[in-house]
């Protein structure tokens, strides 16, 4: 989950799924990945973009997990964010998918939609997360992110939002700014 999330930056889920199949067939655990050839690792992750940085972080993450955590992923926000290239968003994705949400994933979709609709006032992802954590019950944090992301892909698209089809338009600041009627 962690490695797939690292690879997902600026990349489609479909491409990440293809790359992770190859990557995990070759390196099924932190130990084998920590011993991988950096050049070979870069070639495997190349299709995801930013491959040099991603491969470097994956190698460092694997070495730390293999060495410091006996090959087991630490399921703790502080320990996860100490791993190279792992920020709060990535840690939230991992913890949320293990049913241990400590926050709300604020990716580009969540940021765009929550500010567009007008349910948050902040523009910084960490500040948006804090605002949302007050509004959304903790037991819904993980599901909320997934729902908003799906909504962003299907309805509230970045360039061509389907405002007239949207069930949220009667509440949406963006819709009214664009001339929508209540």
Task: Give the tens place of pLDDT for each residue, 9-43.
Answer: 888 889 999 999 999 999 999 999 999 999 999 99
What domain count does the chain have? 2
Name all contacts of 135-143 with Cβ < 8 Å and 24+ positions apart.
136/104, 138/101, 141/96, 141/101, 141/103, 141/104, 142/96, 142/97, 142/99, 142/101, 142/105
In a domain, 23, yes or no: yes
3-class SS at 159?
coil
Q: What share of the chain is helix, strand, coil (3-state, %, to 5)?
A: 65, 0, 35
Residue after which a domain boundary falls, among 56, 72, 97: 97
Question: Tell me, what's the pLDDT at 10?
Answer: 87
Question: Tell me, what's the pLDDT at 178?
Answer: 85
Active-site choice (13, 89, 123, 162)? 89
Q: Which domain holds residue 88?
A: 2-97
Asked if residue 83 and residue 134 are part of one domain, the reply reads: no
Asked if residue 139 and residue 93 are part of one domain, the reply reads: no
Active-site choice (60, 63, 107, 130)? 107
Active site residue 89: yes
Asked if residue 6 and residue 89 are part of one domain, the reply reads: yes
Task: Give the tens place of pLDDT for each residue, 47-93.
Answer: 999 999 999 999 999 999 999 999 999 999 999 999 999 999 999 99
CA separation for the pair 5, 16 (Å, rounded): 9
Active site residue 107: yes
pLDDT category, 182, cuts 50, 70, 90? low
CA separation for the pair 141, 96 (Å, rounded): 8
In a domain, 136, yes or no: yes
Residue after which a domain boundary falls, among 50, 68, 97: 97
The CATH number of the domain where 38 resides is what? Answer: 1.10.340.30
């Amino acid at each position: 989950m962690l490695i797939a999330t690292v690879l997902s930056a600026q990349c489609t889920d479909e491409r990440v799924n293809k790359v992770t199949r190859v990557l995990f067939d070759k390196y099924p655990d932190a130990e084998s990945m920590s011993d991988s050839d950096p050049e070979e690792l870069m070639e495997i992750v190349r299709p995801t973009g930013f491959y040099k940085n991603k491969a470097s972080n994956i190698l460092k993450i694997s070495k730390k997990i293999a060495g410091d955590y006996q090959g087991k992923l630490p399921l703790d926000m502080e320990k996860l964010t100490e791993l190279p290239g792992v920020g709060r968003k990535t840690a939230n994705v991992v913890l949320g998918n293990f049913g241990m949400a400590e926050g709300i994933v604020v990716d580009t979709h969540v940021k765009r939609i929550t500010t567009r609709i007008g349910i948050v006032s902040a523009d910084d992802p960490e500040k948006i997360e804090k605002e949302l954590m007050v509004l959304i019950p903790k037991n819904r944090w993980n599901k909320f992110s997934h729902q908003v992301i799906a909504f962003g892909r299907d309805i509230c698209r970045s360039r061509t939002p389907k405002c007239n089809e949207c069930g949220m338009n009667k509440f949406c600041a963006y819709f009214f700014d664009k001339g929508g009627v209540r």
